[in-house]
Amino acid sequence: MQAIIHQLRVADGSDIPLLWFPSDGEGQCLLLLPALGIQAKLYRTLASQLSAAGHPVAIMEQRGHGTSSLRPDYRCRYSLDDMLDYDIPAALEWLEQQCPGRPLVMGGHSLGGHLTTIYAACNPRQLAGVVHLACAFPYCDDFPAAQRRLLKFLCAVIPVFKFIPGYYPGDLLGFGSRESTAMMAQWRQWALSGDFNYDKHTDLATRGAYTGPVLALEFERDGFTTEAALMRARMPFQQDRITRIRLGEAEQGDYLGHTQWARQPDGARLSIVDWLAKLVS
C-alpha cells in the first residue's frame, strides 16, 4: 500500500510529515515514532501490513530526517521538547480526526519508544496502549565494555558539536545520523544518568502514572540492547501490564537486529495484531 504524505503544521510553525496508511477496518488507530536517525519510510511495510489487518497507521517523520524540511545546524536546534510538546500532540489530534471515536495506540522504535513512554506518562488517559519496538535505554553502565566505551566517548564529544560543526555528525561517528545538538545533549543526560529526566524536567516517566497495556517486542541479533537496558526502558510501566515477546528466526526469518527487522516485519506484525485483538476481547 502506498502511503499518503500529509504535512502537519504544528504550533511552533514547523511542518511535520506524516506517512498515512488508512484502513477500511475498524481496529485501533496507531501512531508510530522512528528510532534515532531513522527515516519514517523504514516502517512502511509494517504500517501497510497493519493497515491491511484493519488498523489505520500514521508514521511521524522525525525532525531533520526523510521528508522533513528541517536540517540541524547552528540555527536549527530542535529538541525532545519540540517533539513532545508540538509534534506528537498535533499528530495524535490529527489521527483522532481521521478515526473519530477509535482507541489510539502509540508505539516507537528505540528513541521513538522512549518518547512514547514519556508522552504516555504525561497523558495517561489519552492512549489505549503503548508499543515498544527494540527499545532499550541508552544508560552507559547497562552495556558491556565495548559498547560502554562507545557511549561514554559519545557523551564526551557531544558538547563540542554545538560549536563545530553546529550539528551532531552521527553518520561519521557510526551512531545515529545528522542530529540536532540540543536533542543529543538531552540524550546524553539519559546516557549518563540512567533515568528519563533531562534539563529541568523531573519525574517525566512517572508523572500521571500510565497504567495501560504495553507490548514490548525484542529482536534477536540486536547489538543495541541488553537485558538491563530493555528493563530500564520499561521501568515506568506496571510490570504486570507488559506483554514481552522476543522474536527470532522462527518469526522473522533473517530479518532481525536493531533495524533489519523492519524490512520484513512479519513476526512483529503478527504480534502487534494479536495483542491489539486481545485489548478489546
Structurally, how many domains does the chain consist of?
1
Packing angle, helices 145-157 and 181-193, rounded to 10: 140
CATH number at residue 242: 3.40.50.1820
Q: What is the pLDDT of residues 114-154, one digit of tens each?
A: 999 999 999 999 999 999 999 999 999 999 999 999 999 99
Q: Is residue 178 part of a domain?
A: no
Q: Is residue 91 part of a domain?
A: yes
Q: What is the pLDDT of residues 13-62, one digit of tens each?
A: 999 999 999 999 999 999 999 999 999 999 999 999 999 999 999 999 99
Domain range for 118 is: 4-137+202-279
Cis peptide before 72 (omega within 30 of 0): no
Rounded Cα–Cα distance for residues 17 and 245 (Å): 30
Q: What amino acid is encoded at 275 in this protein?
A: W
Q: Is residue 270 part of a domain?
A: yes
DSSP 205: T
Q: Is residue 155 part of a domain?
A: no
Q: Is residue 161 part of a domain?
A: no
Q: What is the pLDDT of residues 227-254, one digit of tens each?
A: 999 999 999 999 999 999 999 999 999 9
SS3 (DSSP) at 106: strand
Listed in sequence order, the residues at least 6 apart from 35 whose beta carbon sits closer than 8 Å to its beta carbon are: 108, 109, 110, 111, 112, 134, 258, 259
Q: Is residue 82 part of a domain?
A: yes
Q: What is the pLDDT of residue 1?
A: 79
Q: Is residue 166 part of a domain?
A: no
Comparing CA positions, the residue from 83, 130, 121, 135 lying closest to residue 103 is 130
Q: Is residue 53 part of a domain?
A: yes
